[in-house]
Amino acid sequence: MEFNIYVGSIFHQRVLGKKHQFKYKFFSGYFNDVYSFQDKKFFSTKFSKIFSLDFDDHGTKETIKAIKIFIDKNQIDSKNLKLDLLKKPNSIFVEAFNPVCFWYLKKQGNVLAFIADVTNTFGERQIYFIDNGGREINSEIFYKAIKKMYVSPFAKKSGIYKFKISDQPNQTVIKEFNDDEVLEINTALNGSIHKFRGLKKSYFYFRIIISTLLVVARIHLHALFIWRKGNQAYSHNGNGYAKSNYKKLD
């Protein structure tokens, strides 16, 4: 496993109801080749004196389970398969909260599957698995997924996501629609992957830690802004899943 640093920006825009948008610089870890498909285990959880990853949570287990089903269904040879991960790691200062992290299943440099692992502030978790029937994902088109979980108090639990994924350069576009397929939210993550050394590495380690500390504060701050603008709020009602028989992953 190789630990690199992702440097980019995230843009979020609410287009239904009272409009609201923001853009932040985004700093995260990008982990190349985290899983051995031959040994069926992760390579490592501790990769520096400052940062670590937890691969024992149920969301990660569900991701690996879904990938194995995908491989078997499409009769894909696991030789030369790689699994990359874009995720803020835990540090010695704070346990990271990732509203979403992204997994990329690759073969010979091509992305065969993309998994968005989403966690809301209630600790509920859901994965969204995007693939192209075993073929390389086309970076020019959107792929549809049914929304299954409450994420924002200003959107219902159900709806539709559309993902457009590009690995080179690294760009992820997410469009969120309501049940009537009316566009509610645009989100775009753009960035590049770096291997820094020396003082630059220390600087970007610091930026990752600060960015991690700000995640929850920013979520609540913008929720306040959206509420003050008069957008309709929807209750969590003690269960964030779109169907009552949906099980919590974590």
> 25 in a domain, yes or no?
yes
Between CA 200 and CA 5 the distance in angstroms is 11
117, with CB counted inside 10 A (0-12, 13-18, 19+), is buried
The 10s digit of each residue's pLDDT in 182-221 is 999 999 999 999 999 999 999 999 999 999 999 999 999 9
Instruction: State the pLDDT confidence band at 250, using cuts at 50, 70 and 90.
Output: very low
Instruction: State the pLDDT confidence band at 246, using cuts at 50, 70 and 90.
Output: very low
The 10s digit of each residue's pLDDT in 44-55 is 766 788 899 989
**Residue 78: partners with Cβ closer than 8 Å, 6 or more residues away:** 37, 38, 71
Pairing of strands 143-147, 125-131: unpaired
> 192 in a domain, yes or no?
yes
Report the chain's mean pLDDT, rounded to a whole number.
92
pLDDT at 10 over 90: yes
Specify the pTM. 0.93
Domain that holds residue 183: 2-228
> 250 in a domain, yes or no?
no
> 186 in a domain, yes or no?
yes
The 10s digit of each residue's pLDDT in 69-110 is 999 999 999 888 999 999 999 998 889 999 999 999 999 989
**Residue 129: partners with Cβ closer than 8 Å, 6 or more residues away:** 66, 70, 113, 114, 115, 145
- Phi, psi (degrees; rounded to nearest 5) at 19: -70, 145
Other C-beta atoms closer than 10 Å to the C-beta of 161 total 22
pLDDT at position 37, please?
92
pLDDT at position 56, please?
87
The share of the chain scoring above pLDDT 90, in percent, equals: 84
Between CA 66 and CA 71 the distance in angstroms is 9
> 235 in a domain, yes or no?
no
Task: Quote the number of domains for the chain.
Answer: 1
The structure tokens listed for 147 are: 């929304």
